[in-house]
Amino acid sequence: MLNIKACIFDLDGVIVDTAKYHFVAWRRLANELGIDFTEKENEKLKGVSRAESLNLILEWGGVKIENEKREQLTDRKNEWYLEHIQKMNEEEILPGVKLLLDVLKEKGIKIGLGSASKNAPMILKQVGLFDYFETIVDGGQVTNSKPHPEVFLKGASYLGVLPAQCIVFEDAEKGVDAALGGGMLAVGVGEEEVLGHAHYVIPDFKNLDYDVLLEILEEKMSPIKN
């Protein structure tokens, strides 16, 4: 039987949908550099650090920027992004998320956040969810970005649980890779065709029954146990 003691959530696209604000800010910066990219290409930036996101955009546009100027560019993008998230409120919480967090609290399941976003604490405060999380590991606390499992392993460590006792909720392919690499149960939130390598995929948190989810994960893990 699964012995789940903690759930660790990604932020963007899982708790709130800030991907749209990232897209607007990154595209604005890219356009200033004479580059453009689509929303489909933007999917590749999910769960990726600022520095790596900039590298990808420059690569798409075939543009070279000196390393010493890159931090200035990512800072500028972040300022534009902050303009958007400072206007966020509880209405931006994705459907079903708060109910699940309430259920986890009632069951005594520890709750953590593992996100590449250095703005994670601010966003959680803006939408009124900050106090639900016993630990928040963001991009400023790790040296390796997803798909490296560092962010989730630190989250488990700070929560005082083993990786195998954690469920990670992720909407990005690299995030699922990170959870699996850390020896955790991975639940993809989004499309099966993108996240199908997770242990289980849900379209969203609407009508999600945590106990049923545990039963499904138990069934999927049983062949491995045997």
**Residues tagged active-site:** 10, 12
Closest by Cα among 93, 120, 124 to 206: 93
- What are the start-end ranges of the H helices in 109-172? 120-126, 150-159
Taking CA atoms, 119 is separated from 124, 167, 175, 180, 205, in Å, by: 9, 23, 18, 25, 23
Helix (H) or strand (E) holding 200: strand 200-202
Amino acid sitting at position 154: K
Answer yes or no: are the C-beta atoms of 8 and 186 closer than 8 Å.
no
Taking each helix axis from N to C terminus, what angle separates 50-61 and 67-85, rounded to the nearest 10 degrees? 110
